[in-house]
Amino acid sequence: MKFLENPPRFLFFTGKGGVGKTSIACASAIQLAEAGKQVLLVSTDPASNVGQVFGITIGNNITAIPAVPNLAALEIDPQAAAQLYRDKIVGPVRGLLPEAVVKGIEEQLSGACTTEIAAFDEFTALLIDSPLTAEYDHIVFDTAPTGHTIRLLQLPGAWSGFLEEGKGDASCLGPLAGLEKQREQYKAAVDALADAEKTRLILVARAQQSTLREVARTHEELASIGLKQQYLVINALLPKTEAETDALAAAIYKREQAALHNIPEVLKALPQDMVVLKAFDLVGLDALRQLLKNTPWHPQKTINTTLVLDKPSLSKLVDNIAADGHGLIMLMGKGGVGKTTIAAAVAVELAHRGLSVHLTTSDPAAHLSETLSGTLNGVLDKLTVSRIDPHAETERYRQHVLETKGALLDAQGRALLEEDLRSPCTEEIAVFQAFSRIIREAGKKFVVMDTAPTGHTLLLLDATGAYHREVSRQMGNTSLHFTTPMMQLQNQQQTKVLIVTLAEKTPVLEAANLQADLRRAGIEPWAWVINNSIAATFTSSQLLHQRALNELTEIDTVATKHAKRYAIVPMLKDEPIGVQRLLDLSA
């Protein structure tokens, strides 16, 4: 594999959910360790399953992997990190400042920004020369930091100037207060990230047009801030031999090859590796050792078992949804599981029944106009489609806050407010408010939301009062009455949350974690949708049939442990583009 040739000290694996970055990161760490290198494997993913992959509990302390000499692992827990971060900032001023001021600081440190900063406060400690990591030849990161977070760590110019001039005090610095103390550490970390001799970024993708477009955006964003040493890994490619005798396999192979042929220009110059699709689940050392070896798979014996599978259809779920006559349907799930497709399928099925539907998304890669191409029996006459532009919504939100709240501040206060509005949670709140405006339509028609706020975001917005604070900020000193949409989201008579997943270990684990987050926010998921299931279709490909057998375990886990009701959507030979094919998904 090119990405493991002459590896630097730091290896970052990034990519959207479901592409296999955790498996490839783990396999790479094992390969380096077994070559005699001292390796630390670090997960910065809040839904980390590194411990599950190795069959041990890891957690927030460096833990040796007993079965692999020279390998240790660490899982950074964002929530635990956030609490430590708050304690570090608030502790020194407790008892020195008035209690009201201290409470104000704690309130400022309770939002999503603090959680994100705190996690990366821990991760930057791993990128500098320190006794903590001195013994390791390589540090392998599963789920690299996003571009906007690294920009945050670079301390934007306006904020740096504010700090350097000594303006303000601890009560007004908000989540970034701790950055002053860590500026040298962050600068060293950012310098290490931008040093091609020290850091290599591995973009993991699948041979899917939407995934490759997203990887191209990630590549450009990270390259623009200095992370230019990038490699591309295309994971889980179906071998050509499987496509020679099976119609489903042939269709998958054709789609993958078309996606590779039309790969975005910005990715063509990157060093590339291809990893073939494996028949086995990527859990356990034996499986991980085989992952990066592109050796042909041959079944030990011919598989001709007929799958016996209860296949509750998406149409059955829509029957129950349609009976209400109107309401909010929110599709949630990690990236790569097909939320946009399922959202479109639900919306089309409702419209096909003569019901008025508004389908909306905030995903720039959703391409709903393409997915919904074609007409059928006037379906599109009942269907309204919109897209929330996160950048436009964020800019509108910023301008409104500056014109209202900002108008009451002096120059220093306004500069601080402008910097605060550049934080990562601003976009989440702006998009959430845009969703909130559309939610009101659900009282008289169906509103189907693709790319809804994550359970983690909803939990933070509700539990910490962050959303309420932001509404208050917008409303200023007006006497207008306002409420948040959380009560509607918590009411199953008004809102039905559908969690979308795949019948694979990692997506099911991530979906279960999402469900736990939602429940902590008082939102009970209404149903699960298992998308793109091979077990729900027919194949004579031995490799695909083995994967279908593997799916049965995960489907049973969803049916018996997680979901109150569920549907299984089969993998189709043709991509679900167009109204008729979307209706076929529901059958």
What residues are labeled active site?
Answer: 18, 20-23, 45, 506
User: What are the respective helix, strand and coil percentages of the chain, to the nearest 5?
Assistant: 50, 15, 35
How far apart CA 245 and CA 501 sit, in angstroms, is 29
Alpha-carbon distances, residue 579 vs 118, 479, 523, 570, 585 (angstroms):
45, 47, 31, 17, 10
Q: Of the candidates 405, 401, 362, which has an alpha carbon nearest to the alpha carbon of residue 385?
A: 362
Sign of the C-alpha dihedral computed for residues 251, 252, 255 and 257 taken in this order: negative
Q: Please list, in sequence order, all residues whose beta carbon lies within 8 angstroms of the beta carbon of residue 47, skipping any fewer than 6 positions away.
A: 334, 509, 510, 513, 514
Q: Which two tokens stand for residue 146?
A: 């996003």
List, in sequence order, every residue forming a beta bridge with 274; answer none if it has no partner.
234
Number of Cβ within 10 Å of residue 330's Cβ equals: 26
Please report where in the chains the tokens 């085989």 appear, as a residue. 290
- Cite the beta strand spans of 130-271 per DSSP E: 138-142, 199-206, 230-237
Alpha-carbon distances, residue 129 vs 40, 95, 133, 201, 210 (angstroms):
14, 35, 7, 20, 39
42 neighbors 76 (Cβ within 8 angstroms)? yes
For the chain, the first-to-last Cα distance in angstroms comes to 42
Q: Of the candidates 534, 538, 535, 531, which has an alpha carbon nearest to the alpha carbon of residue 567?
A: 531
How far apart CA 329 and CA 450 sit, in angstroms, is 9
Please report where in the chains the tokens 């489609």 appear, as a residue. 385
295 class by beta-carbon count within 10 Å (0-12 exposed, 13-18 middle, 19+ buried): exposed
Please report where in the chains the tokens 């490759």 appear, as a residue. 212
217-225's contacts with Cβ under 8 Å and 24+ in sequence apart are 218/14, 218/15, 218/147, 219/266, 219/267, 219/270, 220/266, 221/147, 221/148, 222/147, 222/150, 224/147, 225/147, 225/150, 225/151, 225/154, 225/194
How far apart CA 117 and CA 228 sit, in angstroms, is 23
